[in-house]
Amino acid sequence: MGRYLLRRLLESAVTLVLASLVVFLGVRALPGDPARTLAGEESDPATVEAIRHEYGLDRPLPVQYATYIRKAVSGDLGRSPRTGIPVADSIRHALPVTLQLATFAIVIAVTIGILAGVVASVRRRTPAEWGANAVSLLGLSVPNFWFGQMVILFLAIAYPIFPASGFVSVFENPVESLRHLLLPALVLGSALAAVIMRQTRSAMLDALTADYVRTARAKGLGGAQVIFGHALRNSLIVVVTIVGLQLGALISGAVVTEQVFVLPGFGKLTIDAVFTRDYPMIQGVALVTATAYIAINLLVDLLYSVIDPRIRVGGAVI
């Protein structure tokens, strides 16, 4: 186990270095000069040159990269040349917003998706199933930015129940946090809810015709007990797998949702950094994202063996 962990950590470090290199070169391949963009309206060649020098953009790429990595390793992600605010501070503010939004979206998606899936499978060929199918189709086909604008128009402007924008942390004020996050989480979770609904329905239909369900019914168990205690329980494995697979898509979807609801999250930070050619910010965001993905993957691989001891890691049973 120790050797396996060491190997995985080394692999992770190499992956991180490669990821940072790709991002470093990628942002520099974008058309547009960050120094010129920073110079803004009142640019003149001397100022642009001074900015380029100040941020080391006039130095050779390997030197720039080495400086960046050296500082990053010591925890210094640099400052945004545009606002002068440390990149790490911006990420520290933005990350919890996206995490809370994504978590809330998953809760909503799972709740709606499972309930609709169960209803659609149990009430087959009834208006309930058709309704659930229609909602699922809508969830999959309606783009987030349009759905977001619509819920704002109805639930924030026509009937001002929810705020149209802003963020309150759940740790500061849970009620206000719920009010601010409900609409964006609903919008972000809509597509995931649709996928979960369809998979739950399909898995439930299989389960409801399975032998063990027939046996359970024959033993005299009530409808609810059969559905929730047996059929649904076995169908949930699919749901858990989907939620895991869709997590990345959810974070990407947050980019659009955060723009529509003006949530100061990771997605908004990334988009704005790209448009302003804020190299340190783009690199910082990418590095943190890559680290998170690698860490989660490693954790999941390790958890497999904890959950199911039959799964071996590193060629040996733990």
Kindly state the smallest distance separating residue 222's Cβ from other proteins, in Å.
47
Asked whether 20 and 279 are in contact (CB, 8 A), the reply is no
Asked whether position 28 contacts other proteins by CB under 8 A, the answer is: no
Examine residue 85 and tell whether it contacts other proteins (CB under 8 A): yes
* Cα distance between residue 242 and residue 115, in whole Å: 16
**Among 94, 110, 120, 254, which residue interacts with other proteins (rule: CB under 8 A)?**
94
Examine residue 2 and tell whether it contacts other proteins (CB under 8 A): no
Binding part of the chain for other proteins, among 67-75, 154-162, 208-216, 220-228 by CB under 8 A, reads 154-162
Per CB under 8 A, which region of 145-153, 171-179, 203-211, 298-306 contacts other proteins? 145-153
Binding flag, residue 166, other proteins (CB under 8 A): yes
Separation of alpha carbons 290 and 284, rounded Å: 10
163 belongs to the binding site for other proteins (CB under 8 A): yes
Say if residues 195 and 116 touch (Cβ distance below 8 Å): no
The DSSP letter of residue 172 is T
Size of the site for other proteins (CB under 8 A): 52
Told to check if 169 binds other proteins by CB under 8 A, we report no
Closer residue to other proteins, CB minimum distance, 112 or 269: 269
Q: Is 172 in the site for other proteins (CB under 8 A)?
A: no
Q: Is 260 in the site for other proteins (CB under 8 A)?
A: yes
202 binds other proteins (CB under 8 A): no
Q: Which is nearer to other proteins, 80 or 289 (CB)?
A: 80
Is 127 among the residues that bind other proteins (CB under 8 A)? no
Contact between 143 and other proteins by CB under 8 A: the answer reads no
Query: Nearer Cβ to other proteins, position 28 or 217?
Result: 28
How far is the C-alpha of 216 from the C-alpha of 51, rounded, in Å? 74
Q: Residue 203 carries which side chain, given as an amino acid letter? A: A
119 binds other proteins (CB under 8 A): no
DSSP of 58-82: TS-HHHHHHHHHHHHHTT---B-TT
Q: Can you read off the two tokens belonging to residue 144? A: 């987030």
Question: Minimum distance from CB of 76 to other proteins (Å)?
Answer: 14
Which CB atom, from 32 or from 229, has the smaller least distance to other proteins? 32
* CB distance 140 to 225 below 8 Å: no
From residue 185, give the alpha-carbon distance in Å to each of 64, 147, 148, 263.
Answer: 39, 12, 10, 11
Q: What are phi and psi of 294, to 5 degrees?
A: -65, -45
Q: String of b and e for 72-111 (b: at least 16 CB within 10 Å)?
A: beeeebbbbbbeeebbeebbeebbbbbebbbebbbebbbe
Using the minimum distance from each CB to other proteins, give the nearer residue, 57 or 195: 57
Q: Which of the residues 214 through 233 are near other proteins (CB under 8 A)?
A: none
